[in-house]
């Protein structure tokens, strides 16, 4: 009975938070529209901060429910203000809030992220916000695939670059694991590819379009050096300047961040279950590995092979983790080009969360008192005069 009371209380908090947070974001960004026209860089900088505060709502829902994230691997915090493709395996709706938690404390990374997501997410509570900040919605299906890729190329030039976005979140598997695993395994057997158990063979289309459109050109000499083994970059060396003029001939994207999400015993959490609290309170492991864009081949066959290799590595990592409850020594000691991140929990500032919630609540009050209430009063006066 106590559990059901807790679920009900958390559901109420979830609903109330949605009611005051999302409209407040939209009202503030609407009021700032003149700035979008007169000083677009300032507008999108402010939007990034507003979106980061909005993500704090998700942090509150998940962190307060006892869902903790452990991160290890490369220190991708060094790339918080760098243009990068973020590749992640995709198991459930819980993957999205987990990636929110992963990026929240890494500078303004979460605020300057562009998400590539299934078009149906446009109709969720985040949908209107995503439309406003110009995330990219992709419609699945073979008949529209080429058109979608052409639209993505256009979107990168017209939205990603002008709005000074940094990380591009991509789920190359194209859907949840449980939906695609069987068909992926059939395809692998029929074409002589590795038959994976914990991830599916990724689709290369979106990654290739991004690299071809804004990625630093492929350097086979650099790639050969990387394969033979090179020095780990210092934080200063990794912190390549991100300042660039948005000229047509400049290609700013220099990094690929590979994230592997590992749920306990291979049982993924779901978004609503984490928010309400009926999912088991279990830790989620995130393993990071960074690659330089100039080391990645652009030929479709070679790029497909490279991407398949990464997902074979993910599959092996997950298989060992599910069996032993920890990462293998081979994974932990593998060569890296960024400094190693000490395995640790991501910890959030509760006071900061409270202050951000107070900001949204006070904003909601101000918007009601000085915008909505006078508008309703004016409508009432007009109706009374007419009728």
Select from 34, 49, 169 the least CA-distant residue to 102: 169
Identify the residue whose tokens are 């505060």.
53
Q: Residue 115, SS3?
A: strand
For the chain, the domains span: 1-64+352-387, 67-348
Residue 133 CA to residue 239 CA, distance in Å, equals: 26
pLDDT band at 67 (very low <50, low <70, confident <90, very high): very high
Cβ contact 173:204 at 8 Å: no
pLDDT of residue 382: 81
| Sign of the CA dihedral running 14, 16, 18, 22 | negative
**Which pLDDT tens digit goes with each residue over 190-249?**
999 999 999 999 999 999 999 999 999 998 876 655 554 455 555 555 554 433 344 444
pLDDT band at 163 (very low <50, low <70, confident <90, very high): very high
**Which pLDDT tens digit goes with each residue over 24-56?**
999 999 999 999 999 999 999 999 999 999 999
Which tokens sit at 296? 């990645």
Cβ contact 210:168 at 8 Å: yes
CA 356 to chain centre: 21
Select from 59, 95, 8, 66 the least CA-distant residue to 355: 59
Q: What percent of the chain has pLDDT above 90?
A: 76
Supply the DSSP string of 41-109, one letter for each residue.
Answer: HHHHHHHHHHHHHHHHHHHHHHHHTT--EEEEEE-GGGGTTS-EEEEE---STTHHHHHHHHHHTSTTT
The angle at the Cα of 365, spanning 364 to 367, to the nearest 5 degrees, equals 65
Which tokens sit at 278? 């009926």
For the residues 296-308, what does the mean pLDDT come to?
A: 95
Cβ contact 94:274 at 8 Å: yes
The angle at the Cα of 326, spanning 320 to 329, to the nearest 5 degrees, equals 75
Length of the chain: 387
Cβ contact 116:130 at 8 Å: no
**Range scoring the smallest mean pLDDT among 8-22, 129-143, 188-202:** 129-143
Residue 371 DSSP code: I
Checking DSSP bridges between strand 84-88 and strand 255-263, what pairing results, if any? Answer: parallel
Instruction: Evaluate if residue 132 carries a pLDDT over 60.
Output: yes
């Amino acid at each position: 009975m106590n559990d059901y009371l807790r679920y009900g209380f958390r559901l109420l908090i979830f609903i109330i938070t949605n009611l005051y947070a999302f409209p407040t974001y939209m009202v503030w960004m609407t009021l700032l529209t003149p700035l979008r026209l007169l000083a677009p860089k300032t507008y999108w900088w402010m939007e990034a901060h507003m979106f980061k505060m909005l993500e704090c709502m998700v942090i509150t829902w998940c962190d307060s429910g006892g869902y903790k994230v452990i991160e290890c691997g490369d220190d991708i915090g060094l790339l918080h203000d760098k243009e990068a493709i973020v590749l992640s395996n995709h198991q459930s709706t819980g993957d999205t809030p987990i990636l929110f938690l992963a990026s929240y404390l890494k500078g303004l990374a979460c605020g300057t992220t562009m998400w590539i997501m299934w078009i149906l997410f446009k109709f969720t509570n985040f949908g209107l916000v995503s439309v406003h900040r110009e995330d990219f919605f992709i419609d699945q299906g073979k008949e529209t695939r080429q058109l979608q890729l052409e639209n993505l190329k256009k979107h990168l030039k017209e939205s990603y670059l002008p709005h000074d976005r940094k990380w591009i979140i991509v789920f190359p598997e194209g859907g949840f694991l449980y939906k695609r695993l069987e068909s992926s395994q059939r395809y692998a057997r029929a074409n002589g590819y590795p038959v994976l158990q914990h991830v599916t063979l990724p689709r290369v289309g979106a990654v290739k379009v991004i690299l071809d459109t804004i990625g630093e050109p492929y350097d086979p000499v650099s790639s050969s050096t990387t394969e033979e083994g090179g020095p780990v970059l210092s934080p200063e060396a990794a912190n390549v300047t991100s300042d660039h003029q948005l000229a047509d001939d400049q290609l700013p994207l220099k990094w690929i961040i590979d994230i592997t999400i590992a749920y306990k015993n291979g049982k993924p959490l779901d978004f609503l279950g984490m928010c309400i609290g009926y999912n088991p309170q279990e830790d989620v492991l995130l393993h990071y590995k960074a690659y330089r864009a100039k080391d990645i081949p652009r030929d479709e066959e070679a790029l497909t092979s490279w991407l398949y290799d990464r997902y074979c590595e993910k599959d092996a990592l997950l298989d060992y983790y599910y069996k032993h409850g920890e990462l293998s020594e081979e994974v932990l000691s593998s060569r890296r080009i960024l400094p190693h991140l000490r395995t640790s929990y991501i910890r959030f500032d509760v006071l900061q969360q409270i202050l951000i919630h107070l900001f949204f609540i006070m904003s909601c009050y101000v918007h009601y008192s000085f915008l909505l209430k006078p508008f309703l009063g004016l409508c009432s006066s007009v109706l009374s005069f007419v009728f």
